[in-house]
Each structure stands twice: as C-alpha cells, then as structure tokens.
Amino acid sequence: MMSEYGGQETWQEDLYSLLRSNGVKLFCYVPDGGHKTLINRSIEDPEVISVPLTTEEEGVAMCAGAHLGGTKSVLLMQSSGVGNCVNMFALIKNGQFPFVTVVTMRGEFGEMNPWQVPMGQGVQPVVEAMGMHCLRAETPEEVSPTVQAALDMAYKSNQSVAVLLTQKLIGAKPF
Amino acid sequence: MSDDRSLDRKKAVPVIVGDPKDLLIVCGLAGASKDMAHLTNDGDNIFTMAGAMGGATAMGLGLALSRPDKKVLVVTGDGELLMNVGTLATVGILKPANLSILCVDNGHYGETGYQESHTQRGVNLELIAQGSAIPNTRTIDREEQIPEAKKILRDSNGTSFILLKVNTEPPPSIKRSMDATERKVAFRRALLGIA
Ligand SMILES: Cc1ncc(C[n+]2csc(CCOP(=O)(O)OP(=O)(O)O)c2C)c(N)n1
C-alpha cells in the first residue's frame, strides 16, 4: 500500500500499542510528520513521559540515563536526525546500553526534496558503523514484528537497534 | 556581572555537593568526572564519562525522569555543557524537581590544554539556564555563597542550576574505571538490584 504522506494511522496505532505493551515508558522525539500519530499518542497518554528534544542526540543520552534508572524508552526521529546522534552512539556502544530508535526514512523511495537525500542515504552505513543493528520495515504488516524484534534484541540481549520505517512504507512527502 | 574566578574546584565542589551517598550522579567528561569520581571514590551511585561530550545533562535528565524518588545531580564543565546547551531548554520544559545541575565553569577547555571557552569571553550559562525556564539558578563565585548553593542543589523545589565559577587549578587526579559497561552494571545493581 502506497499511503498518502501522513495517512498511516492504523499501523501507527498498532505500533504505539506494541511499544506500550512492551513496557516502553519514555518517548523522546524531534517532531516528524511520519511519527505524528505515535507522538500524539505519547503526549495524550498519562502513563508515559513524552519529551520533545532540541536535537536527537539528547534523546540518545536520555535513553541511556533512563536505562540506568530502570525505564524502557524509545527515540523517534527522521533520518536526518541520525546524523545528529553519531558521537552519542559511543555512549550506547561503550556501555552496551539497550537502545531502540524508530527512524522514519526520507531521501529514498520517491523523495522529492533533495536536501533529504544525503543523510537518508547515510543512515544505514552510519548506524552500522557505530555498532548498531539496522532493521527495515517496508510494509504495514512488517512494522510490528520488526519493532518487536528490536525491543527483544535491545532489552533481552543489550543490543542497540535502529528500525527504519522506509519511505516505501510511509510514502513520499509531496513537494 | 562578576568576573571573579578565585574559587578552587578541589575545595568548592566537595562542599557544595556535601555527602554524595544519597544522590544519583551523572558527570560529563574531563574535570567534572574527576571531581566527582574523587569525591565518591568512583562509587556505584555515579556514572562518569570520558567521551560522549555534550551528553551529561541529557543522561541525567533521563535518569531523573526514570527515578522521581531520587535526587539526581549532573556535574558538568562549561565546555561539555556548551556542546549541547539546548538540553537546558529540554530540562526547562520538564523541570523535574529531583534534578540539579552543577556546572563547574573554569572558563576553559581544561582537558585539551586550557584553551579559553566561550564563558571566558562573555557567555553566561546561568542566563542561558534562566532563559531556558529552569526555575532555580545561581552563579557562585565567592566562598560565602557556597552554603546557599548547597541548599539550592539539595532542595526539591523544581530543577536547579548552579554555575560555579572556578579558577584554572586542575581537578583532583583519580584512577577511575573507564569501562562504561561495568559501571552501568554496578550502577543498576546498586539501584535496582539487577544488571
Ligand atoms: C565531540 C568532542 N569534541 C572534542 C573533544 C575533545 N575534548 C575533550 S575534553 C574537552 C574539553 C572539556 O571542557 P570542559 O567541559 O570545560 O571541562 P574541563 O576540561 O575544563 O574540566 C574537549 C574539547 C571530545 N572529547 N569530544
């Protein structure tokens, strides 16, 4: 299904429920259109802590701090944000912190904004270079199982995982 | 604005922090981590860094949000804080009452050879903290202000930010663990009883 940009409520609702049923309590994000439903749910949910960041890098360190205190977290960002995080991934790697980030991809399938392309192409090599796993979800059906796999790898095997919600899944934003 | 930098961090930091046992502490790289590793004997209630520059305040914020029942102290340097100074704004919108930030401002990037930092050239981190909506802020540059700083850091009346201006005397030397995984495990075991 090639959804209209922003029209992804069903799988996004399922994804929010999945994160909550896995005990994720801290949601940090820099706003992104592709994460709209998830962000709004976290803001409305009195049981979770929803934190808008000034830069995605803060979210990486916040998630590590939350783990020190025993709280599960997720960092939501768009692909450009990965570039803002790179040095802070050293904290995750050195400390073997469990870490899950869900990344809405830009700069790939059907991108109409050239400014999104360089970092979009860089995401997978960059996260892998920093010792993280990179999992991709291409269809709505793949989203929940992929994020579940990431949560299990993180919170049972102390791995750090980036789940890429691909542009094929979320659709290209019209420009 | 006072430009007084007569306080010595080796004397001032231990007095301001007081007994560190009941605190959870996150420290930015370089001098701040050395100050606090020395004070706590690199204990299990402290997580120090030797990298991830700019991450200390955010890491302390994550810990404070996770454990509202515990007082969390972030100790950082002026250079470390400047690298992600926007984090003060993220702290300011949340204002966790259990979070205190102590910035040991020597006006320099000490670790890398004492190059002047922005705070030596007119940048005021207390005003940035104030402008970031952090409710309790103070600049400390004289010995007689230290008891007040100590009180503000310990009070749980909203987030506090202390800018401690010090001279360029070096931090204490201490051999601390650089193994972040081992430190994480020890911290969680002490706090949560699990690795
Ligand atoms: C991203 C990054 N850039 C540069 C450095 C090099 N570096 C290490 S310590 C430091 C200065 C830290 O200054 P400050 O926080 O003021 O602490 P001080 O050394 O004065 O105690 C710098 C620039 C680094 N570790 N990481």
- Report pLDDT digits (tens) over B120-171: 999 999 999 999 999 999 999 999 999 999 999 998 688 999 999 999 999 9
pLDDT number for residue A175: 76
DSSP string of A12-65, one letter each residue: HHHHHHHHHHTTEEEEEE---GGGHHHHHHHHH-TTSEEEE-SSHHHHHHHHHH
Sign of CA dihedral B93, A43, A50, A132: negative
- How many Å lie between the alpha carbon of B104 and the closest alpha carbon of chain A? 20
Q: Which residues of B touch A53 (CB under 8 A)?
A: 90
- Asked whether the predicted pLDDT for residue B186 surpasses 60, the reply is yes
Residues in CB range of A48: below 8 A, 6 or more apart: A20, A24, A25, A26, A27, A42
Residues in CB range of B30: below 8 A, 6 or more apart: B77, B79, B80, B110, B111, B171
CB-count burial class (<10 Å; 0-12, 13-18, 19+) for A112? exposed
Residues in CB range of A109: below 8 A, 6 or more apart: A166, A167, A168, A172
E-strand stretches of B38-98: 46-47, 71-77
Q: Which domains does chain B have, with CATH numbers?
A: 2-192 (3.40.50.970)
What is the layout of strands, in order, in the sheet containing A133-137? A49-52, A24-29, A72-78, A99-104, A160-165, A133-137
Contact: A70, B59; criterion CB under 8 Å:
no
Q: Which residues of A touch B61 (CB under 8 A)?
A: 58, 62, 65
pLDDT number for residue A7: 55
Taking CA atoms, A136 is separated from A31, A93, A159, A160, in Å, by 20, 21, 16, 14
3-state secondary structure of A85: helix
Measured between alpha carbons, how far is B9 from B6 in angstroms, rounded to an integer? Answer: 10
Residue with tokens 């850091």: B153
pLDDT tens digits, one per residue of B67-97: 999 999 999 999 999 999 999 999 999 999 9
Taking CA atoms, A152 is separated from A67, A161, B67, B145, in Å, by 15, 10, 23, 50
As a whole number, mean pLDDT of residues A131-158 equals 97
The tally of CA atoms less than 13 A away on the side-chain side of residue B31 is 30
Measured between alpha carbons, how far is B44 from A35 in angstroms, rounded to an integer? Answer: 37
Sign of CA dihedral B76, B77, B83, B84: positive
pLDDT tens digits, one per residue of A34-64: 999 999 999 999 999 999 999 999 999 999 9
Tell me phi and psi for residue B110, to 5 degrees.
-65, -50
State pTM to two decimals: 0.96
Contact: B63, A66; criterion CB under 8 Å:
yes
ipTM: 0.96
Measured between alpha carbons, how far is A114 from A123 in angstroms, rounded to an integer? Answer: 15
B74 — contact with chain A (CB < 8 Å)? Answer: no
Q: Which residue, among A168, A170, A83, A71, has the nearest Cα to A127 in the 3D structure?
A: A83
Contact: B54, A54; criterion CB under 8 Å:
no
3-state secondary structure of B97: coil
Please provide the average confidence, as pLDDT, over all residues in chain A: 94
Interface test with A, best of B24, B57, B59 (most A CBs within 10 A): B59
Is B134:B88 a contact under the CB 8 Å cutoff?
yes
A–B CB contacts, 8 A cutoff, strictly below: 118
Class at the top of the CATH hierarchy for domain A9-170: alpha beta
B108-109 and B115-116 strand pairing: antiparallel
As a whole number, mean pLDDT of residues A93-110 equals 96
Measured between alpha carbons, how far is A26 from A51 in angstroms, rounded to an integer? Answer: 8
Residue A8 binned pLDDT confidence (cut-offs 50, 70, 90): low
A117 — contact with chain B (CB < 8 Å)? Answer: no
CB-count burial class (<10 Å; 0-12, 13-18, 19+) for B6? exposed
- Asked whether the predicted pLDDT for residue A30 surpasses 90, the reply is yes
- Asked whether the predicted pLDDT for residue A16 surpasses 60, the reply is yes
Distance A78 CA to ligand 1 centre (A): 28
CB-count burial class (<10 Å; 0-12, 13-18, 19+) for B47? buried
Task: Take atom 1 of ligand 1 and give the residue whose Cα is closest.
Answer: B53
Q: What percent of chain A has pLDDT over 90?
A: 89
CA B171 to ligand 1: nearest atom: 21
CA angle B82, B84, B87 (to 5 degrees): 115
pLDDT tens digits, one per residue of B4-49: 799 999 999 999 999 999 999 999 999 999 999 999 999 999 999 9
Interface of A with B in 133-172 (CB under 8 A): none
Interface test with A, best of B57, B80, B81, B184 (most A CBs within 10 A): B184
